[in-house]
Amino acid sequence: MSVKGKLIIVSAPSGAGKDTLLNRAFAENSRLKYAVSATSRAPRDGEVHGVHYYFKTADEFRDMLERGELYEHTSYAGNYYGMPKASVADIVAKGDTAVLKIEVEGAANIRKIFPDAAFVFIAPPSLAVLEQRLRARGTDSESAIQKRLEIAKHELTFAKDYDTIITNDNLDTAVAEFLEAIK
């Protein structure tokens, strides 16, 4: 599959504001489509199967893996996450651009398969702001927040491997930078 200009990989520590930023970018560019991942984590309030994720049991996830249906997969904060080949193929087949929201290790694996994809890292203004945002979200327990902060520190060390790093301080500026980066 030729993916030049067709695949955008976005990584960001949890709480960096990536979803808000991407939703704005999607509203401004109708060719951008979200490639839906599979996960074994439980849905959060408001999350819809097939829209935000394909929610799977751990067994169902392992079955997908065994059938070779995923480009990559990882274990993150105790749950499986992976990118179904079909999620990407459906978008690219229509001539649209697939946006893959995946963490840093998955992104590194995707780079081996699709070296021509555009890699964008969204960074929080600081770890303190990240912690505030995770708490404000109110969806994670204290231990889950601590775990996500530890992971975030690790993830920030990967930012240098990306084509573009966007610091999500001011949302309007960050959205404009994102749209410019993927032109």
**Which residues contribute to the site for ligand 5GP (CB under 6 A)?**
14, 37, 41, 72, 74, 76, 81-83, 101-103, 106
Sign of the CA dihedral with 43 first, then 50, 53, and 139 last:
negative
Least distance from ligand 5GP to the Cβ atom of residue 76, Å? 5
User: Is 29 buried (19+), middle (13-18) or exposed (0-12) by CB count in 10 A?
Assistant: middle
Least distance from ligand 5GP to the Cβ atom of residue 108, Å? 9
Q: Which of 126, 132, 80, 133 is nearest to 102 (CA)?
A: 80
Which residue of the chain is nearest ligand 5GP when measured via CB? 106
C-beta closer to ligand 5GP: residue 31 or 137: 137
Distance (Å, whole) CA 179 – CA 29: 8
Least distance from ligand 5GP to the Cβ atom of residue 103, Å? 4
Distance (Å, whole) CA 90 – CA 96: 9
Least distance from ligand 5GP to the Cβ atom of residue 150, Å? 13
